[in-house]
Amino acid sequence: MKKILVTGGAGFIGNHLCRRLVKEGNYVICLDNFFTGLKRHIEDLLDSPNFKLVEHDIVEPISLDCEQIYNLACPASPPHYQFDSIKTMKTSVIGILNMLELAKKNGATILQASTSEVYGNPLEHPQNEKYWGNVNPIGVRSCYDEGKRAAETLMMDYHRQYGTDIRIVRIFNTYGPNMDPKDGRVVSNCIIQALNGDDITVYGDGSQTRSFCYVDDLVEGLILMMNNHHGFIGPVNMGNPSERTVLNLAEMVLSLTGSASRIVFKPLPSDDPVKRKPDISLAKKELGWEPNVDINTGLKKTIEYFMQFKNKS
């Protein structure tokens, strides 16, 4: 049994990770300030003797005993991280400093949930880990993009200066049950609009591409990365290399839901990436990881989850 801290543990990815770690027999401390995380996501774990919920904001220091830290604490959808952009930057920078200090104190391994957004609007396609990115440092998305880039810098500096055992994972678009129906992400937007019979909003002409990874596949990758013992610290891309247009995703959702909704087009948001596709050859080589859940299967499971929100949003 390992004692594992998951920050942002009541968030979308965090709750799936907590559940998997508890199931494997670990003692899990879920830390969340519930800015975007939801208590109902982890209610089924509250009675477990191997699970503890701590309400806390990682911008403030905390002292806990742990052997591993998964740092997932940060709003991840544009409406959420732009709502309080300064808070987002503080969470990414001050928050990771506090978690790195905690890791140093405990001699713990720390994994940073970074993002494909460190590549910005990429000039290379697909994106591999050697690409430095094309990020606007003063745009509306920069609080998240640059915050995550700064967090990677701090992770590497603690590793070089103090020998902290680190892992950096760059997460690409992930979807699945327990997504927030109002988080403004393309998958949740399309599904909720289709189920309610509303117009499905596609920004731009829909030709921009994304690569959608089912959450169970991502959680498997995070655990493999944390527990690899051959000195591989990353950064490593994790996502599904099967690229598709946003318009194609909307059409798939229409087909799977049987909805009569229309697709309508609106202007592309500022700094929205035109292309996004991970090169996961490094993850395959170092971790033997690649996603297994196909988009049809994943979308069906996600639509089934979202049925409870039909006509409630």
Compute the chain's Rg from CA coordinates. 19
Mark out the alpha helices in the chain (DSSP H runs): 12-23, 78-83, 85-106, 142-162, 186-196, 215-226, 246-257, 281-287, 295-306
Burial status of residue 296 (CB atoms within 10 A of its CB: 0-12, 13-18, 19 or more): exposed
> 166-171 and 174-175: which strand pairing?
unpaired
Residue reference for tokens 């089924």: 44
**Which residue in the list 27, 144, 158, 175 is annotated as catalytic?**
144
Q: Would residue 162 show up in a list of annotated catalytic residues for this protein?
A: no
**What is the dihedral angle through the alpha carbons of 146, 227, 40, 57, rounded to the nearest 10 degrees?**
-40
How many beta carbons lie within 10 A of that of residue 312, not counting itself? 9
Judged on CB neighbours under 10 Å (0-12, 13-18, 19+), 46 is exposed
Decide if 156 contacts 100 (C-beta within 8 A): no
Look at strands 209-211 and 243-245 and give their pairing.
antiparallel
CB 16 within 8 A of CB 219: yes
The answer to whether residues 114 and 170 touch, using CB atoms and an 8 Å cutoff, is yes
Separation between Cα atoms, residue 115 and residue 149, nearest integer Å: 9
Half-sphere exposure of 76 (CA within 13 A, CB side): 23
- The catalytic residues are 144
